[in-house]
Structure formats: structure tokens, C-alpha cells
Amino acid sequence: MRIQITDLTIENLRDRKFIQEIPEFYQLRNVVENFPPWHYHESVFDHTLAVLEQESLILQQIPDALRNYLRQKPFLQYSRQDLLHLSIVFHDIGKLETFVQTGEVTSCSGHEEKGAEITTRILQREFLLNSKEIKRVAEMIQHHGNFCAFSRRQNTFQEYEKLKKQFPKVFSEMILLELADTQTLPNSNEKSWMINVYKELLRNC
């Protein structure tokens, strides 16, 4: 029996419903990040569930035009929202194989690309997605780090215009992913600035 995307709820994931099918996801409980100011002794598993909670809240508040866009089925089977949900579930799965601890501080350099590889294997093994859908989810995971507004650069919006041209088919989804991800971070002026950037970008999508 293949996993249905609609069954990937926070409750089912938290209750270990898919421990046999996607053990890689549950191994994230053992990956505990300490990467100030973004993560303080937080497991990637708990972080991912928190991002999923934010996804749900954000999607309740988006304008109708964006909601209708997410209902589109670019490859006939699953909607953009379904594929976005998968990318959020697995967006940090690559931290399994890239986790490095140096003293008290951890890092996961290159986790996006490794995550795309791991996710591709999981989707091929456990889900009924076609090859284009799998490629789309992997693309979002591989490049989600490029969409993070890490610092207060004067040319931030110009940089996002370049990303929009580079990734026109997933730009809105990527901003939604980063908004949900950022909402889970500890409060700071930097976090507030990043969230405002993402919201402004979504207003213009």
C-alpha cells in the first residue's frame, strides 16, 4: 500500500504511523541542531512538525488568487499544494547525512541537495507520483536554501526577481515554504524582517 499525501498529517507523523514506510523521517528525532540564532538544541523532527503547523495556518490566510493557483495540477495528478506539502515534509531530510557537530555548534552544509536525493528515493519507493511530480518536489527541496532571506541586503528584492526568473514554475511555493520555515524560528528582529520580505513577495505573486 502506497502512502497517500493526504495521510501525511501532523498527527499521523507524530504518532509514528509511517515508521515502517519512511524510517528516514523518524531518524530526524536523533538529529539535534544547535545553530544560533536559528536553532537551539532542536531536533529536525520537531522542527519539521512545527513547519507543517505553520503551513496549515498560512494556507488558511492566503488570498483567493493564490489559493486557486495552488489548486492547479501541473502534471494532471496532484495539485501544487500537494507537492508543496511533500516538499515541506521532507525539506530537511538531508540533514540526516550532512550533520556535523563542532564543539557545541552544529551544521548541515549541503543538506538541500542531499535532501533532494533522499526524497527522490522515498517518493519512488512509497508514493504513487509520476516522474515529473517527483522531480518537482526534489527541485523545491534542492533549492529551498536559495530562497532564504538570511541578511538585510539592500538588493534583496532584486535578488528575488532573479530567482523568480530562474524558478518561475515554483516561485510562489518556494516563498510559502520559506515563510512557514521562518515562522518557527526564535523571535528576533531578523526573523521579523524576513517574514515581511516573504509576505511582500507573496502579495506580488
pLDDT in tens, 111-168: 999 999 999 999 999 999 999 999 999 999 999 999 998 666 778 999 999 999 999 9
How do residues 106-115 score in pLDDT, each as one tens digit? 999 999 999 9
152 in any annotated domain: no
Question: Does residue 154 form part of some domain?
Answer: no
Residue 74 forms part of a structural domain: yes
Residue 32: beta bridge partners? 43
Which ranges constitute the DSSP H helices of the chain? 10-14, 23-26, 44-59, 64-71, 80-89, 95-98, 111-126, 131-143, 156-166, 171-183, 189-203
Q: Which domain holds residue 32?
A: 5-145
Residue 39 has pLDDT above 70, yes or no: yes
Whether 138 maps to a domain, the answer reads: yes
24 located within any domain: yes
- pTM of the predicted protein model: 0.96
Q: Is residue 133 part of a domain?
A: yes
pLDDT of res. 34: 97
> 146 φ, ψ to 5°?
-70, -20
Total number of domains in the chain: 1
* Spatial separation of the C-alpha atoms in residues 151 and 49, rounded to whole Å: 25
Q: What does residue 78 show for φ and ψ, rounded to 5 degrees? A: -110, 150
- DSSP count for the chain of H helices, then E strands: 11, 4
> Is residue 12 one of the residues assigned to a domain?
yes
Q: By percentage, how much of the chain surpasses pLDDT 90? A: 93
Residue 157 maps to a domain: no
